[in-house]
Structure 1
């Protein structure tokens, strides 16, 4: 079975309240992450018609602060489908209701895994790709997965060579004090 991404896309808009703010008066990043997780769940679950869990989040950069009183719009779409997992692309924008200015606040990719009634991973419908942008998003998801596998194997503790990294660390704002045990 295959489905179009547009059939499971989700958009939500929420007013940012003072109770969502941090000590500097900006909207707390944790609140935005919570909203992102909720919309990723909704999009993934709508696509596969199963309960879904968050397996990973790929890089969240907060590009612009969100102010109290702004409207925050979150958009989610299925970018990639595997056997039991999906990559959900998210975009977060804020809008100043007085000026109409819209800011891109962040984008991220959530890997969601479908769960059956028995709690085991469930097969997800494949994705029908019908645009150049859809091909780009699917291909980028594959590339991110490959990069992630390379990163995790590069720093495997059994293969890690201290001498390969000392010079790099010494060029940073750090001091190395190794004690032999």
Structure 2
């Protein structure tokens, strides 16, 4: 593992580059919907390969990205594995968030849904990639299908959160963003 000389989150394999072939996106008209004159896209496929394909034309041009990664809770889902070894999960997210960071415009933002299983590690990772000063908010909300105390009085997590980061944030802009979040929550 490479030593960088700064406070950072580390794991086995963090600095091993994955060689990916350049990809191109091909439109499937059968899956198209809405106004064809917009620049919006819904991409079906492996998200790392899709992000790599977007790098060709969209570095520094994306205004907003929302991701809902696997929470790594150990649950089984039909389309993805939610029970990865911790360092594999970290590595998977790190590669994708680095590319997303490069795709964001200067005023762009990243919104990430997560719970407490890996949320604290994800926050430290994003602080490293975006810089701590570009952290905007940790929006916590209560899941609607869970109650506060479990059987026998055991406490369990009833909330999830959305981490919000901006590519570049100055003090005035940060204050405005917090104001919008407060109004949205009211």
Q: Please, what TM-score do these two structures have when normalized by structure 2?
A: 0.30
Structure of higher CA gyration radius: 1
Which of 1 and 2 has higher RCO (CA within 8 Å, sep 6+)? 1
Pick the structure with more strand per residue. 1
